Every structure is written in structure tokens, then in C-alpha cells.
């Protein structure tokens, strides 16, 4: 079923709604197929959702490694390398990866971040956009490099910030765009097109 297709591994930490939109998109004439959903939390809800779609899943509990990032990443590499991914999509994966891990997959690892990078790398992006009085917010898909939430931008989608928005209402509006942007970027990326898109 993956013959001739790019093999995509998706890393998650939670519900995996972005993972689901990516997985659902990889059918028909799409150049890629999902081969693994990997979580750093065995109770991540997205694991069961992926399994329901028939996608192989694995979990490596980061808590077992007590801050030893090298050991955690070595464990993460086992199921990841076994899946022989061509492309790795971070989709709500909330662990910071070291440079040696990201370097290994340079040019093959994507991330979605809920801000208009380079604004607001890191956490609490929606509150920071509200606090700054921004009139626009959005999300970014980018190639992963050693620096957090940096790397070549492959696509961005914007939403308006509305009067009365809270971090939660803004996050919900941005998430709808995430679900459009990430599949659109992945389809192009898997076909070899890294030209940035704007939605
Ligand atoms: C998404 O909003 C994603 O952009 C964000 O976590 C959420 C995961 O939701 N990612 C980050 O903040 C990465 N630093 P999901 O599990 O439903 O896809």
C-alpha cells in the first residue's frame, strides 16, 4: 500500500487532531502514506484514533527518561527508524528535540506551530498575540532545524483576532486553519515542492 509512496511518520503528544487531518489526506493520488504515529505519552488520545484508522502506533514515555534527552531520543529512534520514514511530521509534539536528532532528519522533518512565525516561538502563542494587540494571528508549517520553532517556512495561514477573543477562542479559530494548512503543505512537500504557500 505504501509502494511508490513517501512514507510519513507523525509524532504527537495529545489529541492528534492535526495528525488525523494529515492521515485522512493521504489517500488516492496523494504521494504519501502514513506509516507510524508515535507519541511521547502512552495515554495520548491520538494513538487510539490512529489505530482505529489502521495506522501502526508506538509510544515512548518521556517520563521514564527523567530528563535524559539523549536516552529518550535513542528510544524514540527505535520505532521511528523501523518505520523507515521519508518524512516526519511533528503534529502537536510537545517535547523539545536536540540538535543531533533534528540534524539526522534535516530537510525531512516538518512542524506545525500555532503562530505566525517568526512571531511567538515556544508556548502560549495565542495569549501572547492577544497581549501584543495583534489584529491577525495564525499558524505556520516549517522545516525543523535545531533552533526551536525556526527553520524554512513552508506555509502560513492567517485568521483575524476578534474583539472579545480569549486564548481559547483564538486557538479554536487557528486550529481550523491548521487543519487546512498542514495537509496542503504535506501534499506539496511529499511531491518535492518547498515553495511556501499562504492560505
Ligand atoms: C496544535 O494547535 C499545534 O499547532 C500545537 O499543539 C496543538 C496540537 O493539537 N503545537 C504546538 O504548540 C507545538 N509547539 P492536536 O494534537 O489536536 O493536533
Residue 114, pLDDT above cutoff 80: yes
Tell whether ligand 1 has an atom less than 6 A from the beta carbon of residue 138.
no
3 state DSSP class of 71: helix
Ligand 1 atom nearest to 111, measured from its CA: 13
Give the residue, out of 18, 44, 96, 129, with the most ligand 1 atoms within 8 A of its beta carbon, to mutate for a pocket test.
18
| Cα gap 89→33, rounded to integer Å | 12
| For range 20-32, the mean pLDDT | 98
**Separation in Å, CA 70 to CA 16, 36, 38, 74:** 25, 21, 17, 6
Tell whether ligand 1 has an atom less than 6 A from the beta carbon of residue 175.
yes
Tell whether ligand 1 has an atom less than 6 A from the beta carbon of residue 14.
yes
Question: Sign of torsion, CA 77 68 97 166?
Answer: positive
Tell whether ligand 1 has an atom less than 6 A from the beta carbon of residue 15.
yes
3 state DSSP class of 123: coil
Residue 3 pLDDT class (50, 70, 90 cuts): confident
Q: What are 123-179's pLDDT values in tens digits?
A: 999 999 999 999 999 999 999 999 999 999 999 999 999 999 999 999 999 999 999
Q: What are 76-93's pLDDT values in tens digits?
A: 999 999 999 999 999 999
60 Cα: distance to centroid of ligand 1 (angstroms): 19
Ligand 1 atom nearest to 12, measured from its CA: 16
φ/ψ of 17, rounded to 5, equals -65, -35
Residue 1, pLDDT above cutoff 60: no
- Dihedral of the CA atoms 114, 120, 123, 128 (nearest 10)? -100
pLDDT of residue 2: 72
pLDDT of residue 111: 98
Rounded (5°) CA angle 160-163-166:
85
Q: Where are the alpha helices (DSSP H) in 12-156?
A: 17-25, 45-52, 69-82, 99-104, 125-131
91 Cα: distance to centroid of ligand 1 (angstroms): 6
Q: Which residues are catalytic?
A: 113
Query: pLDDT exceeding 90 applies to what percent of the chain?
Result: 98
pLDDT of residue 134: 98
Nearest CA to ligand 1 atom 3: 92
Closest CA to 136 of 148, 150, 119: 119
| Cα gap 105→100, rounded to integer Å | 9
Give the residue, out of 92, 123, 126, with the most ligand 1 atoms within 8 A of its beta carbon, to mutate for a pocket test.
92
φ/ψ of 19, rounded to 5, equals -55, -45
Amino acid at each position: 500500500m505504501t509502494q511508490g509512496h513517501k512514507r510519513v511518520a507523525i509524532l504527537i503528544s495529545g489529541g492528534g487532531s492535526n495528525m488525523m487531518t494529515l492521515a485522512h489526506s493521504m489517500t488516492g493520488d496523494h504521494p504519501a502514506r502514513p506509516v507510524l504515529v508515535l507519541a511521547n505519552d502512552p495515554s495520548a488520545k491520538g494513538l487510539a484514533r490512529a489505530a482505529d484508522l489502521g495506522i501502526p502506533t508506538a509510544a515512548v514515555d518521556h517520563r521514564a527518561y527523567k530528563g535524559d534527552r539523549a536516552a529518550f531520543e535513542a528510544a524514540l529512534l527505535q520505532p521511528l527508524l523501523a518505520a523507515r520514514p521519508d518524512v516526519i511530521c511533528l503534529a502537536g509534539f510537545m517535547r523539545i528535540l536536540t540538535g543531533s536528532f533534528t540534524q539526522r532528519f534535516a530537510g525531512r522533518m516538518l512542524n506545525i506551530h500555532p503562530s505566525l512565525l517568526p512571531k511567538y516561538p515556544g508556548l502560549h502563542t495565542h495569549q501572547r498575540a492577544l497581549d501584543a494587540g495583534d489584529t491577525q494571528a495564525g499558524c505556520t508549517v516549517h522545516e525543523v532545524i535545531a533552533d526551536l520553532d525556526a527553520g524554512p517556512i513552508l506555509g502560513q495561514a492567517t485568521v483575524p483576532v476578534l474583539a472579545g477573543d480569549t486564548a481559547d477562542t483564538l486557538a479554536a479559530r487557528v486550529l481550523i486553519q491548521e487543519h487546512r494548512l498542514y495537509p496542503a503543505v504535506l501534499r506539496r512537500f511529499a511531491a518535492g515542492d518547498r515553495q511556501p504557500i499562504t492560505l
